[in-house]
Protein backbone atom coordinates (compact mmCIF):
# COMPACT_ATOMS: atom_id res chain seq x y z
CA UNK A 1 0.00 0.00 0.00
CA UNK A 2 1.18 3.48 -0.85
CA UNK A 3 1.02 4.90 2.69
CA UNK A 4 3.26 2.18 4.16
CA UNK A 5 6.53 3.88 5.17
CA UNK A 6 8.31 0.93 6.81
CA UNK A 7 7.87 -2.67 5.83
CA UNK A 8 9.79 -5.47 7.53
CA UNK A 9 9.70 -8.93 6.00
CA UNK A 10 11.17 -12.06 7.52
CA UNK A 11 13.62 -10.06 9.60
CA UNK A 12 16.08 -12.14 11.62
CA UNK A 13 19.27 -11.26 13.46
CA UNK A 14 21.81 -13.70 14.77
CA UNK A 15 24.67 -12.34 16.86
CA UNK A 16 27.96 -14.14 17.15
CA UNK A 17 29.38 -14.12 20.66
CA UNK A 18 32.27 -11.76 21.13
CA UNK A 19 32.24 -10.12 17.69
CA UNK A 20 30.73 -6.94 19.02
CA UNK A 21 28.28 -5.77 21.60
CA UNK A 22 28.55 -4.91 25.22
CA UNK A 23 24.92 -5.08 26.24
CA UNK A 24 24.97 -1.29 26.66
CA UNK A 25 23.57 0.72 23.81
CA UNK A 26 25.80 3.71 24.41
CA UNK A 27 28.95 1.57 24.56
CA UNK A 28 27.89 -0.33 21.43
CA UNK A 29 27.46 2.92 19.56
CA UNK A 30 30.73 4.29 20.86
CA UNK A 31 32.49 1.09 19.82
CA UNK A 32 30.95 1.19 16.34
CA UNK A 33 31.91 4.85 15.90
CA UNK A 34 35.50 4.29 17.08
CA UNK A 35 36.21 1.11 15.13
CA UNK A 36 34.12 1.46 12.00
CA UNK A 37 34.19 5.19 11.36
CA UNK A 38 37.35 6.46 13.04
CA UNK A 39 39.10 3.12 12.29
CA UNK A 40 40.73 3.12 15.72
CA UNK A 41 40.90 0.53 18.46
CA UNK A 42 38.35 0.96 21.20
CA UNK A 43 40.34 0.68 24.45
CA UNK A 44 37.19 0.39 26.56
CA UNK A 45 35.48 -2.34 24.55
CA UNK A 46 34.52 -5.53 26.33
CA UNK A 47 32.61 -8.30 24.62
CA UNK A 48 29.53 -9.52 26.46
CA UNK A 49 30.13 -12.32 28.89
CA UNK A 50 28.43 -15.66 28.48
CA UNK A 51 26.93 -15.17 31.95
CA UNK A 52 24.39 -12.61 30.91
CA UNK A 53 23.64 -13.85 27.41
CA UNK A 54 22.11 -17.18 26.46
CA UNK A 55 24.05 -18.46 23.46
CA UNK A 56 23.14 -21.52 21.52
CA UNK A 57 25.28 -23.87 19.51
CA UNK A 58 28.44 -22.49 17.91
CA UNK A 59 28.24 -19.36 20.07
CA UNK A 60 25.38 -17.92 18.07
CA UNK A 61 22.51 -16.02 19.58
CA UNK A 62 19.24 -15.36 17.84
CA UNK A 63 18.09 -11.86 18.82
CA UNK A 64 15.28 -11.59 16.24
CA UNK A 65 13.43 -14.23 14.31
CA UNK A 66 11.12 -13.79 11.31
CA UNK A 67 9.77 -10.39 12.29
CA UNK A 68 7.14 -8.95 9.93
CA UNK A 69 5.22 -5.68 10.18
CA UNK A 70 4.07 -2.65 8.23
CA UNK A 71 4.02 0.90 9.57
CA UNK A 72 1.97 3.55 7.83
CA UNK A 73 2.60 7.23 7.37
CA UNK A 74 1.85 9.22 10.55
CA UNK A 75 1.41 6.21 12.84
CA UNK A 76 3.06 6.10 16.25
CA UNK A 77 4.25 2.61 17.15
CA UNK A 78 5.46 1.39 20.50
CA UNK A 79 7.86 -1.55 20.57
CA UNK A 80 7.48 -3.38 23.86
CA UNK A 81 8.88 -6.53 25.43
CA UNK A 82 10.92 -7.76 28.36
CA UNK A 83 14.65 -7.12 28.69
CA UNK A 84 16.63 -8.79 25.94
CA UNK A 85 13.58 -9.44 23.74
CA UNK A 86 15.18 -7.74 20.72
CA UNK A 87 13.67 -4.24 20.80
CA UNK A 88 16.94 -2.30 20.41
CA UNK A 89 18.19 -4.75 17.81
CA UNK A 90 15.05 -4.09 15.76
CA UNK A 91 15.51 -0.33 16.04
CA UNK A 92 19.18 -0.61 15.10
CA UNK A 93 18.20 -2.56 11.98
CA UNK A 94 15.54 -0.02 10.99
CA UNK A 95 18.09 2.77 11.62
CA UNK A 96 20.59 0.87 9.45
CA UNK A 97 23.17 0.68 12.23
CA UNK A 98 23.03 -3.12 12.21
CA UNK A 99 22.37 -5.38 9.22
CA UNK A 100 19.79 -8.13 9.50
CA UNK A 101 21.08 -11.69 9.11
CA UNK A 102 18.13 -12.35 6.82
CA UNK A 103 15.01 -10.55 5.69
CA UNK A 104 14.51 -6.96 4.64
CA UNK A 105 13.31 -3.62 5.94
CA UNK A 106 12.17 -1.12 3.37
CA UNK A 107 11.68 2.50 4.41
CA UNK A 108 10.30 5.55 2.66
CA UNK A 109 11.39 9.08 3.62
CA UNK A 110 14.10 10.48 5.87
CA UNK A 111 14.77 8.61 9.08
CA UNK A 112 16.14 10.38 12.12
CA UNK A 113 17.11 7.98 14.79
CA UNK A 114 18.19 8.77 18.29
CA UNK A 115 20.63 5.89 17.89
CA UNK A 116 22.15 7.39 14.78
CA UNK A 117 22.44 10.86 16.29
CA UNK A 118 24.02 9.45 19.44
CA UNK A 119 26.40 7.40 17.31
CA UNK A 120 27.39 10.47 15.37
CA UNK A 121 28.54 12.37 18.43
CA UNK A 122 32.28 12.75 18.52
CA UNK A 123 33.38 12.57 22.15
CA UNK A 124 36.24 15.00 21.65
CA UNK A 125 33.98 17.71 20.18
CA UNK A 126 31.82 20.05 22.25
CA UNK A 127 28.06 19.90 22.46
CA UNK A 128 27.80 22.86 20.07
CA UNK A 129 30.13 21.25 17.51
CA UNK A 130 28.24 17.97 17.77
CA UNK A 131 24.89 19.63 17.05
CA UNK A 132 26.39 20.94 13.78
CA UNK A 133 28.12 17.64 13.03
CA UNK A 134 24.87 15.68 13.54
CA UNK A 135 22.98 18.11 11.35
CA UNK A 136 25.55 17.71 8.56
CA UNK A 137 25.54 13.91 8.87
CA UNK A 138 21.75 13.97 8.56
CA UNK A 139 21.88 16.06 5.41
CA UNK A 140 21.12 19.58 6.68
CA UNK A 141 23.09 22.62 5.57
CA UNK A 142 24.63 25.19 7.92
CA UNK A 143 21.79 27.65 7.49
CA UNK A 144 19.15 25.02 8.34
CA UNK A 145 21.09 23.92 11.40
CA UNK A 146 21.55 27.50 12.56
CA UNK A 147 17.79 28.02 12.29
CA UNK A 148 17.15 25.03 14.53
CA UNK A 149 20.16 25.52 16.82
CA UNK A 150 18.57 27.70 19.53
CA UNK A 151 15.50 25.47 19.71
CA UNK A 152 17.68 22.36 20.05
CA UNK A 153 19.81 23.91 22.78
CA UNK A 154 16.82 25.31 24.67
CA UNK A 155 15.10 21.93 24.52
CA UNK A 156 18.17 20.08 25.79
CA UNK A 157 18.58 22.51 28.69
CA UNK A 158 22.35 22.21 28.25
CA UNK A 159 23.14 25.87 27.51
CA UNK A 160 25.86 25.96 30.18
CA UNK A 161 27.60 22.88 28.83
CA UNK A 162 27.55 23.71 25.14
CA UNK A 163 31.28 24.28 24.99
CA UNK A 164 32.18 21.19 27.02
CA UNK A 165 33.38 18.11 25.08
CA UNK A 166 30.58 15.53 25.14
CA UNK A 167 32.96 12.92 26.58
CA UNK A 168 32.50 14.80 29.85
CA UNK A 169 28.70 14.55 29.64
CA UNK A 170 26.78 12.14 31.83
CA UNK A 171 24.68 9.59 29.94
CA UNK A 172 21.60 11.66 30.80
CA UNK A 173 23.13 14.80 29.27
CA UNK A 174 24.22 12.83 26.22
CA UNK A 175 20.71 11.55 25.58
CA UNK A 176 19.16 15.00 26.20
CA UNK A 177 21.29 16.47 23.46
CA UNK A 178 20.81 13.52 21.11
CA UNK A 179 17.03 13.59 21.60
CA UNK A 180 16.89 17.36 21.07
CA UNK A 181 18.83 17.03 17.80
CA UNK A 182 16.88 14.00 16.52
CA UNK A 183 13.47 15.46 17.32
CA UNK A 184 14.15 18.88 15.79
CA UNK A 185 15.41 17.68 12.43
CA UNK A 186 11.88 17.25 11.10
CA UNK A 187 12.41 13.72 9.85
CA UNK A 188 9.69 11.73 8.12
CA UNK A 189 10.32 8.91 10.58
CA UNK A 190 11.63 9.44 14.12
CA UNK A 191 13.09 6.43 15.91
CA UNK A 192 13.53 6.58 19.67
CA UNK A 193 15.03 4.00 21.98
CA UNK A 194 14.28 4.21 25.69
CA UNK A 195 14.47 7.96 25.82
CA UNK A 196 12.42 7.86 28.99
CA UNK A 197 14.88 5.67 30.85
CA UNK A 198 17.24 8.58 31.41
CA UNK A 199 16.86 12.13 32.59
CA UNK A 200 14.62 13.59 35.23
CA UNK A 201 10.84 13.51 35.28
CA UNK A 202 10.62 17.01 33.86
CA UNK A 203 12.78 16.15 30.84
CA UNK A 204 10.80 12.97 30.27
CA UNK A 205 7.60 15.01 30.23
CA UNK A 206 9.19 17.37 27.71
CA UNK A 207 10.22 14.42 25.53
CA UNK A 208 6.70 13.01 25.61
CA UNK A 209 5.30 16.42 24.66
CA UNK A 210 7.76 16.71 21.79
CA UNK A 211 7.00 13.20 20.53
CA UNK A 212 3.31 14.04 20.64
CA UNK A 213 3.96 17.24 18.69
CA UNK A 214 6.10 15.46 16.07
CA UNK A 215 3.42 12.83 15.55
CA UNK A 216 0.08 14.57 16.10
CA UNK A 217 0.82 18.09 14.89
CA UNK A 218 3.37 17.36 12.20
CA UNK A 219 1.89 13.98 11.19
CA UNK A 220 5.26 12.23 11.23
CA UNK A 221 5.82 8.55 11.88
CA UNK A 222 7.38 7.64 15.23
CA UNK A 223 8.74 4.32 16.48
CA UNK A 224 9.27 4.31 20.16
CA UNK A 225 10.81 1.69 22.47
CA UNK A 226 9.95 1.97 26.12
CA UNK A 227 9.43 -0.05 29.26
CA UNK A 228 7.00 2.63 30.43
CA UNK A 229 3.64 1.11 29.49
CA UNK A 230 1.68 4.17 30.54
CA UNK A 231 3.71 6.30 28.10
CA UNK A 232 3.36 3.72 25.32
CA UNK A 233 -0.40 3.48 25.86
CA UNK A 234 -0.80 7.26 25.88
CA UNK A 235 1.46 8.05 22.97
CA UNK A 236 1.10 5.24 20.47
CA UNK A 237 -1.73 3.93 18.34
CA UNK A 238 -0.09 0.61 17.55
CA UNK A 239 2.26 -1.67 19.43
CA UNK A 240 4.58 -4.49 18.51
CA UNK A 241 5.29 -6.93 21.33
CA UNK A 242 8.56 -8.84 21.04
CA UNK A 243 9.15 -11.93 23.10
CA UNK A 244 12.57 -13.61 22.87
CA UNK A 245 13.10 -12.21 19.39
CA UNK A 246 9.69 -13.28 18.07
CA UNK A 247 6.65 -11.09 17.48
CA UNK A 248 4.28 -12.20 20.20
CA UNK A 249 1.52 -9.89 18.95
CA UNK A 250 0.98 -6.61 17.18
CA UNK A 251 -1.99 -4.31 16.79
CA UNK A 252 -4.04 -1.71 18.58
CA UNK A 253 -1.97 -0.34 21.47
CA UNK A 254 -4.30 -0.79 24.46
CA UNK A 255 -5.03 -4.41 23.57
CA UNK A 256 -1.34 -5.26 23.17
CA UNK A 257 -0.16 -3.35 26.25
CA UNK A 258 -2.83 -4.94 28.40
CA UNK A 259 -2.02 -8.42 27.17
CA UNK A 260 1.67 -7.76 27.80
CA UNK A 261 0.94 -6.47 31.31
CA UNK A 262 -1.22 -9.48 32.02
CA UNK A 263 1.45 -11.85 30.74
CA UNK A 264 4.13 -10.14 32.79
CA UNK A 265 1.68 -9.89 35.67
CA UNK A 266 1.87 -6.16 36.17
CA UNK A 267 -1.47 -4.96 37.45
CA UNK A 268 -3.39 -2.20 35.66
CA UNK A 269 -6.07 -1.02 38.04
CA UNK A 270 -6.72 2.41 36.57
CA UNK A 271 -6.77 3.95 33.11
CA UNK A 272 -7.67 7.56 32.43
CA UNK A 273 -7.99 9.21 29.04
CA UNK A 274 -9.77 12.39 30.14
CA UNK A 275 -6.72 14.55 29.29
CA UNK A 276 -6.22 12.94 25.90
CA UNK A 277 -9.71 12.51 24.40
CA UNK A 278 -8.27 12.02 20.92
CA UNK A 279 -6.34 8.98 22.21
CA UNK A 280 -9.23 7.64 24.26
CA UNK A 281 -10.46 4.25 23.10
CA UNK A 282 -13.75 4.44 21.22
CA UNK A 283 -15.32 5.39 17.93
CA UNK A 284 -17.96 7.74 16.52
CA UNK A 285 -20.59 6.27 18.87
CA UNK A 286 -18.87 6.05 22.27
CA UNK A 287 -15.52 7.01 23.74
CA UNK A 288 -14.22 5.84 27.12
CA UNK A 289 -12.86 8.37 29.61
CA UNK A 290 -11.73 6.19 32.47
CA UNK A 291 -11.92 2.74 33.92
CA UNK A 292 -10.87 1.72 37.39
CA UNK A 293 -10.80 -1.29 39.68
CA UNK A 294 -11.48 -0.37 43.29
CA UNK A 295 -10.84 -3.03 45.93
CA UNK A 296 -13.12 -2.56 48.95
CA UNK A 297 -10.23 -3.00 51.31
CA UNK A 298 -6.62 -2.90 50.42
CA UNK A 299 -3.36 -3.04 52.32
CA UNK A 300 -0.48 -1.39 50.57
CA UNK A 301 2.21 -3.80 49.34
CA UNK A 302 -0.08 -6.73 50.12
CA UNK A 303 -1.57 -8.71 47.26
CA UNK A 304 -5.32 -8.45 46.80
CA UNK A 305 -6.88 -11.46 48.36
CA UNK A 306 -9.82 -13.49 47.17
CA UNK A 307 -12.12 -12.22 49.93
CA UNK A 308 -12.04 -8.61 48.72
CA UNK A 309 -15.09 -7.29 46.78
CA UNK A 310 -13.90 -5.44 43.67
CA UNK A 311 -15.81 -2.54 42.16
CA UNK A 312 -15.30 -1.77 38.49
CA UNK A 313 -16.13 1.83 37.66
CA UNK A 314 -16.07 3.48 34.24
CA UNK A 315 -16.96 6.70 32.50
CA UNK A 316 -17.80 6.83 28.84
CA UNK A 317 -18.93 9.58 26.50
CA UNK A 318 -22.06 8.70 24.55
CA UNK A 319 -21.79 10.62 21.29
CA UNK A 320 -25.21 9.77 19.84
CA UNK A 321 -28.40 11.20 21.26
CA UNK A 322 -31.12 8.69 22.17
CA UNK A 323 -28.79 5.73 21.75
CA UNK A 324 -29.96 2.39 23.05
CA UNK A 325 -26.93 1.00 24.86
CA UNK A 326 -25.93 -1.68 27.30
CA UNK A 327 -22.50 -2.52 28.66
CA UNK A 328 -21.24 -6.02 29.37
CA UNK A 329 -18.37 -6.60 31.75
CA UNK A 330 -16.35 -9.70 30.88
CA UNK A 331 -13.93 -11.21 33.38
CA UNK A 332 -11.23 -13.53 31.96
CA UNK A 333 -8.60 -15.67 33.63
CA UNK A 334 -5.00 -15.98 32.44
CA UNK A 335 -5.92 -18.89 30.15
CA UNK A 336 -8.26 -16.52 28.33
CA UNK A 337 -11.37 -18.33 29.61
CA UNK A 338 -14.36 -16.15 30.37
CA UNK A 339 -15.10 -16.61 34.06
CA UNK A 340 -18.24 -14.49 34.05
CA UNK A 341 -20.14 -11.78 32.19
CA UNK A 342 -22.19 -9.06 33.87
CA UNK A 343 -24.62 -7.14 31.61
CA UNK A 344 -26.14 -3.74 32.38
CA UNK A 345 -29.76 -3.11 31.42
CA UNK A 346 -30.32 -1.87 27.86
CA UNK A 347 -31.36 1.78 28.19
CA UNK A 348 -31.92 4.74 25.89
CA UNK A 349 -29.35 7.42 26.82
CA UNK A 350 -29.09 11.07 25.83
CA UNK A 351 -25.80 12.34 24.48
CA UNK A 352 -23.34 12.95 27.35
CA UNK A 353 -21.08 11.21 29.83
CA UNK A 354 -22.30 7.90 31.19
CA UNK A 355 -20.91 6.51 34.44
CA UNK A 356 -21.32 2.93 35.52
CA UNK A 357 -20.10 0.62 38.23
CA UNK A 358 -20.61 -2.91 39.32
CA UNK A 359 -19.11 -4.99 42.08
CA UNK A 360 -17.69 -8.48 41.83
CA UNK A 361 -18.33 -9.95 45.27
CA UNK A 362 -15.51 -11.15 47.49
CA UNK A 363 -15.11 -14.87 48.10
CA UNK A 364 -16.02 -15.77 44.54
CA UNK A 365 -12.88 -15.83 42.38
CA UNK A 366 -10.02 -18.26 42.67
CA UNK A 367 -6.30 -17.40 43.02
CA UNK A 368 -4.81 -16.15 39.78
CA UNK A 369 -4.40 -13.35 37.25
CA UNK A 370 -7.48 -11.79 35.66
CA UNK A 371 -8.38 -9.21 33.11
CA UNK A 372 -11.56 -7.28 32.54
CA UNK A 373 -13.02 -6.16 29.22
CA UNK A 374 -15.98 -3.86 28.71
CA UNK A 375 -18.23 -4.42 25.69
CA UNK A 376 -20.65 -1.73 24.60
CA UNK A 377 -23.65 -3.02 22.67
CA UNK A 378 -26.74 -1.57 21.07
CA UNK A 379 -29.15 -4.34 21.95
CA UNK A 380 -27.14 -7.28 20.64
CA UNK A 381 -25.13 -5.37 18.01
CA UNK A 382 -21.53 -4.62 19.04
CA UNK A 383 -20.69 -0.91 19.32
CA UNK A 384 -17.22 -0.92 20.87
CA UNK A 385 -15.00 -3.38 22.80
CA UNK A 386 -12.64 -2.03 25.44
CA UNK A 387 -10.51 -5.13 25.45
CA UNK A 388 -8.43 -6.16 28.52
CA UNK A 389 -8.59 -2.72 30.12
CA UNK A 390 -7.93 -3.80 33.71
CA UNK A 391 -5.66 -6.55 34.96
CA UNK A 392 -5.08 -7.78 38.48
CA UNK A 393 -4.00 -10.74 40.54
CA UNK A 394 -5.72 -12.35 43.46
CA UNK A 395 -4.19 -14.52 46.12
CA UNK A 396 -5.80 -16.86 48.53
CA UNK A 397 -5.54 -15.78 52.14
CA UNK A 398 -4.51 -19.30 53.14
CA UNK A 399 -6.61 -19.30 56.23
CA UNK A 400 -9.16 -21.84 55.25
CA UNK A 401 -10.80 -23.86 57.95
CA UNK A 402 -10.26 -27.07 56.00
CA UNK A 403 -6.53 -26.73 56.50
CA UNK A 404 -5.84 -26.87 52.76
CA UNK A 405 -3.12 -24.34 51.88
CA UNK A 406 -2.84 -24.80 48.12
CA UNK A 407 -4.88 -23.42 45.24
CA UNK A 408 -8.47 -24.59 45.08
CA UNK A 409 -9.52 -26.61 42.06
CA UNK A 410 -11.99 -24.99 39.76
CA UNK A 411 -12.42 -21.76 37.90
CA UNK A 412 -14.12 -20.08 40.87
CA UNK A 413 -13.96 -20.71 44.60
CA UNK A 414 -17.17 -19.18 45.99
CA UNK A 415 -17.68 -19.31 49.69
CA UNK A 416 -20.72 -21.53 49.87
CA UNK A 417 -21.74 -22.73 53.29
CA UNK A 418 -21.31 -26.47 53.55
CA UNK A 419 -22.21 -27.57 57.05
CA UNK A 420 -21.57 -31.19 57.79
CA UNK A 421 -22.68 -32.42 61.18
CA UNK A 422 -22.81 -35.68 62.94
CA UNK A 423 -26.42 -36.72 62.66
CA UNK A 424 -26.55 -40.06 64.34
CA UNK A 425 -23.77 -40.67 66.75
CA UNK A 426 -22.97 -44.35 67.32
CA UNK A 427 -23.74 -45.09 70.87
CA UNK A 428 -21.14 -47.29 72.55
# chain residues binding ligand ATP, by CB under 6 A = 16
By CB under 6 A, is residue 118 in contact with ligand ATP?
no
Supply the minimum distance, in Å, between the C-beta of residue 88 and ligand ATP: 3
Among 11, 32, 48, 377, binds ligand ATP (CB under 6 A): 48
Other C-beta atoms closer than 10 Å to the C-beta of 180 total 27
Answer for the pair 235, 272: CB distance below 8 angstroms, yes or no.
no
Supply the minimum distance, in Å, between the C-beta of residue 193 and ligand ATP: 7
Supply the minimum distance, in Å, between the C-beta of residue 297 and ligand ATP: 36
Instruction: Report the distance separating Cα 259 and Cα 241, nearest Å.
Output: 9
CB-neighbour burial class of residue 315 (10 A; exposed 0-12, middle 13-18, buried 19+): middle
By CB under 6 A, is residue 289 in contact with ligand ATP?
no
Supply the minimum distance, in Å, between the C-beta of residue 100 and ligand ATP: 12
Among 30, 88, 119, 318, binds ligand ATP (CB under 6 A): 88
Supply the minimum distance, in Å, between the C-beta of residue 260 and ligand ATP: 13
Supply the minimum distance, in Å, between the C-beta of residue 64 and ligand ATP: 8
Q: Indicate if the alpha-carbon torsion angle 185, 191, 193, 197 is positive or negative.
A: positive
By CB under 6 A, is residue 81 in contact with ligand ATP?
yes
Window 376 to 415, contacts with ligand ATP (CB under 6 A): none
- Tell me the C-alpha to C-alpha distance, in Å, between residue 303 and each of 106, 300, 316, 387: 47, 8, 29, 24
Beta carbons within 8 Å of 140's beta carbon, 6+ residues apart = 148, 185
By CB under 6 A, is residue 123 in contact with ligand ATP?
no
Answer for the pair 341, 377: CB distance below 8 angstroms, yes or no.
no
Supply the minimum distance, in Å, between the C-beta of residue 57 and ligand ATP: 15
Please say which residue, 84 or 303, places its beta carbon nearer to ligand ATP.
84
The three-state secondary structure class of 397 is coil
Task: Determine the residue with CB nearest ligand ATP.
Answer: 21
Among 84, 123, 157, 303, binds ligand ATP (CB under 6 A): 84
Strand segments (E) across 125-211: 189-193
Instruction: Report the distance separating Cα 237 and Cα 239, nearest Å.
Output: 7
By CB under 6 A, is residue 85 in contact with ligand ATP?
yes
By CB under 6 A, is residue 78 in contact with ligand ATP?
no
Other C-beta atoms closer than 10 Å to the C-beta of 253 total 24
Other C-beta atoms closer than 10 Å to the C-beta of 83 total 6
Please say which residue, 86 or 368, places its beta carbon nearer to ligand ATP.
86
Supply the minimum distance, in Å, between the C-beta of residue 207 and ligand ATP: 17
Supply the minimum distance, in Å, between the C-beta of residue 227 and ligand ATP: 6
Phi/psi at 74 (nearest 5 deg)?
Answer: 85, 0
By CB under 6 A, is residue 254 in contact with ligand ATP?
no
Site string for ligand ATP, 8-47 (x = CB under 6 A): -------x----xx-x------------------------
By CB under 6 A, is residue 63 in contact with ligand ATP?
yes
**Burial profile 96-120: b = 16 or more Cβ within 10 angstroms, e = fewer:** ebbebbebebebeeebbbbbbbbbb
Please say which residue, 14 or 133, places its beta carbon nearer to ligand ATP.
14
Among 8, 33, 78, 87, binds ligand ATP (CB under 6 A): 87
Strand segments (E) across 143-197: 189-193
Please say which residue, 84 or 165, places its beta carbon nearer to ligand ATP.
84
Among 78, 86, 362, 368, binds ligand ATP (CB under 6 A): 86
Q: Are strands 304-305 and 381-395 parallel, antiparallel or unpaired?
A: parallel
Supply the minimum distance, in Å, between the C-beta of residue 5 and ligand ATP: 22
Answer for the pair 66, 11: CB distance below 8 angstroms, yes or no.
yes
Please say which residue, 89 or 228, places its beta carbon nearer to ligand ATP.
89
Beta carbons within 8 Å of 184's beta carbon, 6+ residues apart = 148, 151, 152, 155
The three-state secondary structure class of 154 is helix
Supply the minimum distance, in Å, between the C-beta of residue 17 and ligand ATP: 6
Instruction: Report the distance separating Cα 319 and Cα 297, nearest Å.
Output: 35
Binding site for ligand ATP (CB under 6 A): 15, 20-21, 23, 48, 53, 61, 63, 81, 83-89
Amino acid sequence: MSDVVIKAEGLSKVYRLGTTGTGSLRQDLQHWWTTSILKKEDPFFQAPSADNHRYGQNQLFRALHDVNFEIKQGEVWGVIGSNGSGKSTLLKIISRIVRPTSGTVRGKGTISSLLEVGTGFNPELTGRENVYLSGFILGMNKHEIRQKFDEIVAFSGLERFLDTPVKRYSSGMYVRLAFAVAAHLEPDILILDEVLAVGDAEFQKKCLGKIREVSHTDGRTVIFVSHNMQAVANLCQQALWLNQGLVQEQGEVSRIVNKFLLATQQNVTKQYWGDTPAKAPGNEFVRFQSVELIPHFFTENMPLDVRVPLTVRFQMRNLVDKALLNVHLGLYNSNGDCVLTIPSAATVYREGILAGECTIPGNLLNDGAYCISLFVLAGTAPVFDLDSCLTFELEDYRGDESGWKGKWWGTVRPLIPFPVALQEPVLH
